[in-house]
């Protein structure tokens, strides 16, 4: 984090031909109010020192005994008065008499951020909306696991009113399922919900996933000084309180027009267009770092009542973290096929005890992550575009040295290791495929599909795009907004041709519903 911030400050000074102090003030003024205290901690930066030197001098980066010295930028040239990084560190420390800013490593120590941090800790721990007054697991607040993640509650003081339930007495007097359809048609006295939604195969969509499903994204304009302005950081509070995830634009549960590039297309939006009665019936139960193992805890935040609620289509998609970790001996820390079988079957048994009868589960295979290195390693990262000095290969090596790589097995120049990681991913996908073939459950049928990376890349190529544009530019690891939208199209076409029963029938009353309830259709 320090290296990133210092890099941006030094590049701002270069781009605007200003002092480092002026650049730091510029950056701090870009950042919304209470977050400015973080950047103001970096008060002793010398433009002649690269970010690695500064951050080691501030003791925000350190070298543990027996471990390599991690650096993003090439070490200073070995000249007579500055022989390498080690001496540059000592020189910087003496020059500025810099003290250790250990408190910086815990931003929650700052009084202005302490309350917000406590909220975020609660949300991360429980994966439930922080603001949920009636305790039905739905909220009227967007972030902190609110309606960006689950359909928006229409009455947060009534536990019997929430998205996805079957209508209470056909919603004659109130909108119990929050789909905007309620009341009685004065022409014939028939409740609108009964007239338009009875027998319409209404169903929700639930994602059980990881950071790809939650749609992890760090805006590149946060670190691209040639594009940077106050507008660049306007979305920082929202991003921070959504864990740097953007589920409202995601492949499975996206419902808002994308503000991070590309466009939004999602399984939820397509199900809603197919049947307007499905409005707001979505749940994105994903987390950064989600795997088949920790999903067993995460799944308990599912909001579905077998007796009162509509069936659901559940997408189980932990596409990488069972083979991805930041350990040096990465292969030893990957999920084994036996562990995968146990984890997934346990999750499915839990779903069988919670999902209403007539639900569907789709198991998604793991991605072949060799695509990442093949298409990014020699390109410049946003931090390296100004001076052409940081490639993705350098970024991956830096993260791997710090042992915080999102995937040591794929983000590596070691081709053998990349191949072995993909081999394990294929083995785990085959486990999922066999589960879909052999296992039977009382309340849902089960299907398998490969992660549609190849088809997505082919479609993007036909549209004139480049493969690297399908990958998040800052982290160089997650699917981009374009990849998410195109992936939806591929998944939908497969379902239409191979499992039409999963999607339900098209509601012939969609136009009438929109005409009557157009003012109540907001998300």
What percent of the chain has pLDDT above 70? 90
C-alpha dist (Å) from residue 451 to 318, 339, 372, 433, 482: 10, 20, 15, 12, 15
Number of Cβ atoms within 10 Å of the Cβ of 172:
15
Reported in sequence order, the residue ranges of 391-486 that DSSP labels E, i.e. its strands, are 444-449
Label each residue of 260-308 as H, E or C: CCCCCCCHHHHHHHHCHHHCCCEEEEECCCCCCCCHHHHHHHCCCCCCC
The tokens of 271 are what? 């199900």
pLDDT in tens, 352-411: 999 999 999 999 999 999 999 999 999 999 999 999 999 999 999 999 999 999 999 999
Q: Give the integer Cα–Cα distance in Å for 328 and 405.
A: 10
What number is the average pLDDT over the span 491-510?
95
Task: Assign 518 a pLDDT band (cuts: 50, 70, 90).
Answer: confident
The tokens of 14 are what? 């270069």
pLDDT in tens, 185-201: 999 999 999 999 999 99
Nearest residue to 43 (alpha-carbon basis) of 62, 19, 21, 61: 21
Task: Assign 325 a pLDDT band (cuts: 50, 70, 90).
Answer: very high
Residue found by looking up tokens 């770092």 in the block: 289
The tokens of 472 are what? 């998040």
Residue 104 has pLDDT above 50, yes or no: no
Nearest residue to 295 (alpha-carbon basis) of 267, 325, 315, 268: 315
Three-state DSSP at 354 gives coil
pLDDT of 520 reads 64
Residue found by looking up tokens 């939208």 in the block: 485
Residue 102 has pLDDT above 90, yes or no: no
CATH 3.40.50.20 fits 196-514, yes or no: no
The domain spans of the chain are: 1-62, 196-514
pLDDT in tens, 233-290: 999 999 999 999 999 999 999 999 999 999 999 999 999 999 999 999 999 999 999 9
Q: Give the integer Cα–Cα distance in Å for 190 and 33.
A: 53
Average pLDDT, the chain: 91
pLDDT of 47 reads 61
What number is the average pLDDT over the span 434-438?
98
Task: Assign 46 a pLDDT band (cuts: 50, 70, 90).
Answer: low
Q: Give the integer Cα–Cα distance in Å for 388 and 384.
A: 5
Longest dimension (CA), the chain: 93
Radius of gyration over alpha carbons of the chain, in Å?
Answer: 25
Active site residues: 211
pLDDT of 39 reads 64
pLDDT of 129 reads 96
pLDDT in tens, 164-173: 999 999 999 9
Q: Give the integer Cα–Cα distance in Å for 164 and 281.
A: 5
Q: Give the integer Cα–Cα distance in Å for 437 and 446.
A: 8
CB 65 within 8 Å of CB 87: no
What percent of the chain has pLDDT above 90? 80
Residue 88 has pLDDT above 90, yes or no: no
Three-state DSSP at 70 gives coil
The DSSP letter of residue 138 is -
Residue 82 has pLDDT above 50, yes or no: no
pLDDT of 197 reads 98
**What is the signed CA dihedral for 232, 395, 488, 430, rounded to 10 degrees?**
-160
pLDDT in tens, 131-181: 999 999 999 999 999 999 999 999 999 999 999 999 999 999 999 999 999
pLDDT of 121 reads 80
pLDDT of 42 reads 58
Task: Assign 62 a pLDDT band (cuts: 50, 70, 90).
Answer: confident
pLDDT of 78 reads 53
Q: Distance between alpha carbon 158 and the CA centroid of its chain, in Å?
A: 30
110-114, 185-189, 207-211, 323-327, range with the lowest pLDDT: 110-114
What number is the average pLDDT over the span 502-515?
95
Task: Assign 61 a pLDDT band (cuts: 50, 70, 90).
Answer: confident
pLDDT of 132 reads 95
Decide which of 103 and 235 is more confident.
235
Residue 44 has pLDDT above 90, yes or no: no
pLDDT in tens, 458-470: 999 999 999 999 9
Residue 424 has pLDDT above 80, yes or no: yes
Task: Assign 32 a pLDDT band (cuts: 50, 70, 90).
Answer: confident
The tokens of 520 are what? 């109540």
Residue 81 has pLDDT above 50, yes or no: no
């Amino acid at each position: 984090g320090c290296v990133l911030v210092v890099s941006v400050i030094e590049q701002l000074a270069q781009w605007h031909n200003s002092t480092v102090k002026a650049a730091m003030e510029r950056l701090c003024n870009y950042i919304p109010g209470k977050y400015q205290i973080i950047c103001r901690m970096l008060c002793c930066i010398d433009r002649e020192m690269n970010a690695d030197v500064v951050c080691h001098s501030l003791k925000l980066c350190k070298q543990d005994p027996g471990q390599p010295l991690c650096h993003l930028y090439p070490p200073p040239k070995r000249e007579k008065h500055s022989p390498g990084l080690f001496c540059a560190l000592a020189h910087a420390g003496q020059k500025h008499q810099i003290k250790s800013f250990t408190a910086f490593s815990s931003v929650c120590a700052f009084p202005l951020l302490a309350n917000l941090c406590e909220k975020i800790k609660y949300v991360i721990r429980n994966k439930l909306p922080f603001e949920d007054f009636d305790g039905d697991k739905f909220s009227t607040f967007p972030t902190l696991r609110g309606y960006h993640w689950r359909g928006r509650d229409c009455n947060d003081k009534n536990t019997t009113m929430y998205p996805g339930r079957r209508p209470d007495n056909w919603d004659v007097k109130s909108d119990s399922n929050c789909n905007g359809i309620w009341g009685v048609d004065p022409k014939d006295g028939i409740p609108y919900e009964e007239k338009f939604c009875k027998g319409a195969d209404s169903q929700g969509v639930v994602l059980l996933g990881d950071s790809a499903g939650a749609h992890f994204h760090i805006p590149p304009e946060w670190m691209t000084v040639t594009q940077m302005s106050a507008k660049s950081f306007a979305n920082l509070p929202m991003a921070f309180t959504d864990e740097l995830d953007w589920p409202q634009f995601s492949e499975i549960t996206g419902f808002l027009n994308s503000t991070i590039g590309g466009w939004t297309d999602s399984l939820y939006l397509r199900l809603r267009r197919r049947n307007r009665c499905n409005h707001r019936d979505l749940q994105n139960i994903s987390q950064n770092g989600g795997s088949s193992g920790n999903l067993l805890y995460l799944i308990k935040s599912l909001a579905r009542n077998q007796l009162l609620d509509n069936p659901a289509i559940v997408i189980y998609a932990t596409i990488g973290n069972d083979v991805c970790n930041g350990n040096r001996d990465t292969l030893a820390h990957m999920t084994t096929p036996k562990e995968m079988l146990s984890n997934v079957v346990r999750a499915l048994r839990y779903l069988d005890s919670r999902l209403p009868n007539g639900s569907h589960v789709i198991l998604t295979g793991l991605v072949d992550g060799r695509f990442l290195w093949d298409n990014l390693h020699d390109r410049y990262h946003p931090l390296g575009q100004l001076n052409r000095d940081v490639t993705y290969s350098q970024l991956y090596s830096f993260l791997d040295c710090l042992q915080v790589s999102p995937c040591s097995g794929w983000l590596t120049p070691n081709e053998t290791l990349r191949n072995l990681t993909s081999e394990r991913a294929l083995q785990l996908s085959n486990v999922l495929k066999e589960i879909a073939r052999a296992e039977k459950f009382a309340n849902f049928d089960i299907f398998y599909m490969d992660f549609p990376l190849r088809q997505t890349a082919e479609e993007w190529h036909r549209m004139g795009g480049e493969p690297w544009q399908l990958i998040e530019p800052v982290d160089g690891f997650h699917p981009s907004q374009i990849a998410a939208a195109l992936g939806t199209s591929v998944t939908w076409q497969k379902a239409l041709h191979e499992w039409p029963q999963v999607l339900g029938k098209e509601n012939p009353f969609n136009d009438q519903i929109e005409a009557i309830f157009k003012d109540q259709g907001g998300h």
